[in-house]
Structure 1
Amino acid sequence: MTKALVPVRAGFLPLVDAALLIIARERDFARDEGIDLHLIRETSWANIRDRISVGHFDVAHMLAPLPIAANLGLSPLDVPFIAPMALGLGGNAVTVSNGLWKALAAEGAPSDGNPARAGESLRAVIAARRNRGGSPLVFAVVQTFSGHHYELRYWLAACGIDPARDLTITVVPPPLMVDALKAGRIDGYCVGEPWNTAAVHDGSGRILTTKSSIWRSSPEKVLGLTSEWAEANPASLSGLLRALHRASLWCEDKANAADLTALLARPGYLNQPEPVILAAITNMISLGDNGPSHVADFLTFASKAATFPWQSHALWFYSQMVRWGQVRHSKEGAEAARLSYRPDLYRQALAELGVAMPGASAKIEGALVERTHLPAARGQLVLGPDGFFDGVIFDPDRLEDYIAASKIHTALHKI
C-alpha cells in the first residue's frame, strides 16, 4: 500500500529566488520525499510573516533577517522562527528612474555597476538637490527587516551618504516596485529579480549596481518556519530540506536554464516574460546604459555552500539592526540572532546524501578575495570570493568592535 503524502503549505513571493520551492514541487523532488508541497503566492513580506505566524503556512520563502527580527521581539506577533536552510546567494539590484539615471550619468555614474563610483555620483546628485532646495530622493526597499534594506544602507553609508539624513527610504512590495517607479512615487529601489530587469525591459528604469557588487556571495532568502512546526514535524522538515537541496542542484545546472525560466514564468508563479526572468538565471544583467553583460555571482543557487545557513550571516544582519537603531545590542540579543539559523538541522537532513558541508557554523565574512578550496565534512568546498566593496571584514567573534566602528548609524528606534 502506497504511503500517503504529507501536505506542506509554503508561502512565496514572485521572485526568481523562490525557484528552489517551485522546482521542488514541479520536478517532484518534494514528492520523492513523501511531501505534497502546496505553494501559495503572496504579494508582500508582511503577509508572509503574518500568515506563517498564525498557521496559514507551514514554511515560507522568507527574507533572511525576518526570523532574527521575530526572535528579537521586533515582529507584531510573538512567534519564534527558525531558518534551517538558505535559498541561495545574491539576486538583488539597485534600480533608479530614467530621470535620476540621467543626473547620475552627468556626475560620472558607471555603466558597469561599480558601487563605489555609483555611490560617488549619487552623493553628488544629492548635494546638488540640497543646494537648490530640492526634496530628498526617495528609495524603496521591500521590508524594514530585509537584506535589501541593510545592503542599501550599508552601500550608502560606505559612500558617505547618511540614509537617515540625505534621502528617504520607504517600503514597497516587490511586485509593485516598477509601477511605483513609473508613477514617480519613488526615485529608485533595491529589490530582487525579476523586478530590476522588468524596469529595464519596459523602459522605466536603469540598474545602477547589484547586491553581488556590494557584498559578493551574500545571503538573501531562507526557508523560514516556526520553531513549533519544526519540533512537531521533524521528518517532514528533513525531507523538505533534502528536496530543496536537490532543487538547488537542478536550478544551478546551466542545461536546465530554459526549463527553469519557463516554469518560473507561468501565471501562477512569477507571471513575467521569459527574457526578464532568464537574465538573473544566466547572470546576464543590463547595467546602466549597457545591454546584458555577465555579472559574476549575481545569483547562486547551490555552489559556494549557497544553501548553508551560516550563523555569521545571521550575526551580520543583527549588527545592522543595531547599527540602524532597530534594537539595542546585548549578548542575549546576539545569541538569539545566532540561534535563529539552524545549521544543525541542515546537517542532520542532508547527512544521508553525502553532501559536502562546512564543518564550522560561522565564518569571517569578507575575507575571501578569490575562489578558495576548503576542507569540509564529507569532501571539499569552494567558497568565495565574498568581499564587501569597501574592503571591510566582519568577524563574528568581534561583533562589538564591528558595531562600534560604524561611523554612520542611527539612534535606537529612529529608523
Structure 2
Amino acid sequence: MTPISIAFLPLTDSAVLIAAREKGFAEEAGIALDLVRTTSWATARDRLVYGQVQAAHMLAPLAIAVTLGLSQHPAALAAPFKLNVNGNALAMASDFAAALDPDPVRRLADPIAAAHDFAGAIGLHRRKPVIGIVHRFSCHALMLRYWLATAGVDADRDVTLRVLPPSLMVEAMRAGEIDGFIAGEPWGSVAVAEGLGEIVAAGSRIWQRGVEKVLAFRADWIEAQAETIDRLLPALARAAIWCDDPANHAELAELLERPGYVGRPAAELMPALTGQMVLRHGEPPVTVPDFMLFQREAANFPWRSQALWIYSQLVRWNMAEADEDNERRAADVFRSDIYRRALAGSGLPMPGASMKVEGALSTPTAVGAHEGALTLGPDRFFDGRAFDPQDVTGYLKGLAAIPPD
C-alpha cells in the first residue's frame, strides 16, 4: 500500500476524500489514505508547502496565489483534480437581511436585484457591514466581490472583509463580530438552523458550476510520483461518482457527521447534498438545483480556462500583476494533462479541450469528448457576461467599463 496524507477542512465539499477512504476506493487502488483534519486554509497550505502532507483539499485561487508568490511561502503547486463545483452560500444576520427583499426565494432567483438591495441596505445598517470570508484567495471572496461590484459596491471601501476559518463563522456571527459570511456548506445552513441569519445568495447562482475546491500537490512531487497519481485520481473519480448518487446521500451525511470529519449533524449536511436549502429559520426548504456537484458533467476536470478566470479576478482586484508570465503560470496550475493521463481507459468521458469560453452555456450542451459522450450543464455568470480565456485583457477592459451606480 502506498501511503498518502491529505490535509482537509471540515466542509461538505471534503466528501470525495472522505468517501475515497471510508468506502474503500483508495484502498482498492493500493493507497493508504490518511486524512489530516485542519481548521484553516492557511494551515492546510503550510502543511502542503512544507511537505507535512502530500496533498491538500484547497481553495482553487489559493493554489494559484501560492504558485504566483502572492501568498506566504511561495511554491509551485499543481491541481490535477477538482473536488467539486459550487457549494458555498452567503449568510447575513437577520437584522441586515430584514432590509432586503422579504422573499428569500426571490433573492436567490434574481442575484442582480439582490445585489442592489444589498447595496441599499449598507447605508441603513448600524455600521459598515463586516463580512467573513474564509481566505482572501478564495472563490467565495472573488464571487462576493464580483456580485457586489455589479451594484456599485466596492468591497474594499463599502464593507469590511474579515478572514476567519469556516468553522468559526457561526460563532463570530453569534458574538456580533461579523454581520454575515460567505463560506462552503454546512456553515450557512448552520447559521440558519440556529436562527442567526438567512441565506441571501448562493455561489451556484452567481456562477453556475463555478470552480471551488481542488486537490493540490507540490508540482515537484506530482511529477516524481506519476504512477501513484495514476492510481489515486481514478479512485477519487469513483468516490465522486458515489458521492453524486442521491441514493448515497444519507450514508454520506453520516460519514461526514463523524467528529474526525465535518463533525456536524447529518441534518445540517443534507441540504447541500440534496439541494434542499432552508433559507430562513422556520421556513420550509426550497430547491436549489445543482447547488453542489461532485462528479457529473466533468465536475472533476481542471479546466485551464477556469484557472484563468481566477487569475483575471486577482488582477481585477489588484492582487496580482497583469503580465504574460503570470497568466501562463496561473493556467498551468490546473493540470488537465495529468487528469487525462490518469483517467485514460477509465471509461469516464472527459472533455476534448482544456479551455472553453466560461459562461457561454445557458442549456445542457453536448461537447467533444474522449471515451464517450459528454454533456456539460449551464455555466452562466449571473450578469450574463462570458469569459474568453484567449482574451483576458479584453475581458478586464469590459469590466472596467461598467460605471458604478
Distance 1:35 1:153 in 2: 40
Kindly indicate whether residue 98 of structure 2 is the aligned counterpart of residue 102 of structure 1: yes
Contact between 1:109 and 1:121, CA under 8 Å: does it hold in 2? Answer: no
Inter-partner Cα distance in structure 2 for 1:256 and 1:107 = 32
In structure 2, distance between residues paired with 1:84 and 1:339:
10
- 2:146 equivalent in structure 1: 154
| DSSP 3-state at the match of 1:238 | helix
Map 1:364-383 to 2 at 5 A: 364-383=357-376
Matched with 2:23 is 27
The one-letter code sitting in structure 1 at the alignment partner of 2:331 is R
Matched, 1:14 2:10: yes
Residue 335 (structure 1) aligns with: 328
Distance across 2 between alignment mates of 1:292 and 1:329: 43
Q: CA RMSD in A?
A: 1.6
Percent identical pairs in the alignment equals: 44
C-alpha distance after superposition, 1:154-196 (max 9, x if no partner): 1000122111221111101100010111111111111000001
Deviations 1:274-296 (A, max 9, x none): 11001111011112474211101
Q: Cα 1:108–1:36, aligned 2, differ >3 Å: closer, same or farther? A: closer
Residue deviations 1:341-381, cap 9 Å, x none? 10000000010212110010010001100111223111111
Residue aligning to 2:287: 294
Q: Which one-letter code corresponds to 1:372 in the other structure?
A: T
Q: 1:120 aligns with which of 111, 116, 123?
A: 116
Q: Which runs of 5+ in 1 are unaligned?
A: 410-415
- Paired residues, what number? 401
> Structure 1, residues 9-47: CA drift from partner, whole Å, max 9, x if none?
000000010001000000110011110000010000000
1:223 aligns with one of 215, 223, 231: 215
1:167 aligns with 2:159: yes
SS of residue paired to 2:20: helix
CA offsets per residue over residues 284-312 of structure 1, 9 Å max, x none?
Answer: 11124742111011000111110000001
CA distance in 1, matches of 2:104, 2:169: 26
Q: Given that residues 104 and 199 in structure 2 are in contact (C-alpha distance below 8 angstroms), is that contact kept between their aligned partners in structure 1?
A: no
Judge which range, 383-392 or 371-380, deviates more: 371-380
Q: 2:81 aligns with which of 85, 90, 99?
A: 85
Deviations 1:298-331 (CA, angstroms, capped at 9, x unpaired): 0001111100000011000000000001111001
Instruction: Note the 1:125-204 alignment, pairs <5 A.
Output: 125-129=121-125, 134-204=126-196
Name the residue aligned to 1:413: none
Distance 1:342 1:292, change over 3 A: same
Q: Residue type of the partner of 1:35?
A: I
Task: Using structure 2 for the length normalisation, give the TM-score.
Answer: 0.96
State the alpha-carbon separation in 1 of the partners of residues 20 and 64 from structure 2: 25
C-alpha separation in 2, matches of 1:6 and 1:378: 28
CA distance in 1, matches of 2:217, 2:108: 38
Matches within 5 A, 1:260-299: 260-288=252-280, 290-299=283-292
Question: Residues 301, 108 of structure 1: CA spacing in aligned structure 2 closer, same or farther, 3 A cutoff?
Answer: closer
Question: Conserved in 2, the CA contact under 8 Å of 1:208 and 1:288?
Answer: no
**TM-score normalised per structure 1:** 0.94
Q: 1:58 to 1:154 in 2, by over 3 A?
A: same
